[in-house]
């Protein structure tokens, strides 16, 4: 559980900016049909920071019901304070989530002892597996390989790490320090361009945002890497690199990600919550161009042509 390809699921909103559960059902079915190894809801791409506490809980409940055991489900429980993270983790466990994802506490930049106690407290508050989420770009805190080795050694309920870092060397150092302590500790890449390099170094897969747009592409990439089909993996990796151009087309990549899903036929509105901005109207043609370069738009057009025959 919690290895392979796990989309960091968006939270769909309707045109009024409210949570859209019909679109959520369509997204979940899209993932399941693509053969994903799990779903991660209410993380950064899920706009957890733009939702109220009540909305987070109600959406988590809805997603558990929609997924209904079709694949494994992680619920993000990140919060700036330990007490709130524990409350969200216990709620996720009570409603039937398979695990929780805990991002570094943000706002105060605390030291390693405080960080250790935070992750330990959340993981000890529940029985479902816990994954640590390292996201220095947004939290301002980069979890050191030494700290992660300590967490792996002293917190048996913490089973892995989502490492969303720009420096590939960080994930390699984590693998070198953690695996002697816990050989089963999972390390999953957060940024799309590091999925293949991290897996070749011994990592276990990915939890990433752009698998909302192209889950089959990332499922195939992870499977090729697992099976040592390196020529195929390299080809898919290059397509992933092309797809990543989408992230620069809106203020936060959230808007462009949702727009790309919409272009590909999913009933997902491009609406995001503030302070993020939706992708501008002129971005649609650019998104289409990126999808075409990544080999995604042609596949949809071929499907549409077949269905009309």
Looking at the annotation, which residues are catalytic?
44, 107, 133, 162
Q: What are phi and psi of 298, to 5 degrees?
A: -60, -40
- Tell me the C-alpha to C-alpha distance, in Å, between residue 143 and each of 108, 111, 167: 14, 10, 13
Burial pattern 216-233, b for ≥16 Cβ within 10 A else e, equals bbbbbbbbbbeeeeeeeb
DSSP secondary structure string for all residues of 171-185: HHHHHHHHTTT-TT-
Q: In what order do the strands lie in the sheet with 4-7?
A: 4-7, 205-208, 186-189, 158-163, 130-134, 99-103, 73-76, 39-41
What are 186's strand-pairing partners?
160
What are 41's strand-pairing partners?
75
- Phi/psi zone of residue 295: left (φ > 0), alpha (ψ -120 to 50 degrees), beta? left
**Greatest distance between any 2 Cα atoms in the chain:** 64
What is the rounded CA–CA span in Å between residue 32 and residue 38? 8
DSSP secondary structure string for all residues of 140-161: S----HHHHHHHHHH-TTEEEE
> Residues 90-96: contacts with CB within 8 Å, 24+ apart?
90/125, 90/126, 91/57, 91/60, 92/60, 92/126, 92/128, 93/126, 93/127, 93/128, 95/60, 95/61, 95/64, 96/64
Query: Is the Cβ–Cβ distance between 133 and 164 less than 8 Å?
Result: yes
């Amino acid at each position: 559980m919690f290895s392979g390809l796990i989309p960091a699921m968006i939270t769909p909103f309707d045109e009024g900016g409210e949570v859209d559960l019909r679109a959520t059902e369509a997204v979940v079915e899209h993932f399941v049909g693509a053969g994903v190894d799990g779903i991660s809801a209410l993380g950064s791409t899920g706009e957890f920071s733009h939702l109220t506490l009540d909305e987070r809980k109600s959406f988590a409940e809805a997603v558990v019901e929609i997924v209904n055991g079709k694949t494994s489900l992680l619920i993000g429980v990140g919060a700036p304070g330990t007490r709130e993270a524990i409350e969200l983790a216990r709620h996720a466990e009570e409603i039937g989530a398979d695990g929780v994802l805990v991002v570094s506490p943000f706002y105060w930049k605390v030291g390693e002892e405080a960080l250790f106690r935070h992750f330990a407290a959340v993981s000890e508050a529940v029985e479902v597996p816990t994954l640590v989420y390292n996201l220095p770009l947004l939290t301002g805190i980069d979890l050191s390989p030494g700290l992660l080795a300590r967490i792996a050694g002293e917190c048996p309920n913490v089973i892995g790490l989502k490492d969303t870092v720009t420096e590939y060397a960080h994930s390699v150092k984590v693998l070198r320090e953690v695996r002697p302590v816990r050989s089963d500790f999972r390390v999953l890449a957060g940024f799309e361009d590091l999925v293949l390099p991290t897996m070749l170094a011994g990592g276990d897969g990915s939890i990433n945002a752009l698998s909302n747009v192209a889950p089959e592409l990332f499922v195939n990439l992870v499977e090729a890497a697992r099976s040592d089909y390196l020529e195929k993996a390299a080809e898919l990796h290059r397509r992933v690199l092309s797809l990543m151009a989408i992230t620069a087309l809106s203020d936060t990549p959230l808007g462009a990600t949702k727009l790309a899903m919409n272009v590909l036929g999913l009933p997902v509105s491009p609406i995001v919550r503030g302070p993020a901005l939706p992708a501008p109207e002129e971005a649609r043609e650019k998104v289409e161009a990126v999808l075409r370069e990544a080999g995604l738009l042609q596949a949809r057009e071929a499907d549409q042509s077949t269905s009309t025959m």
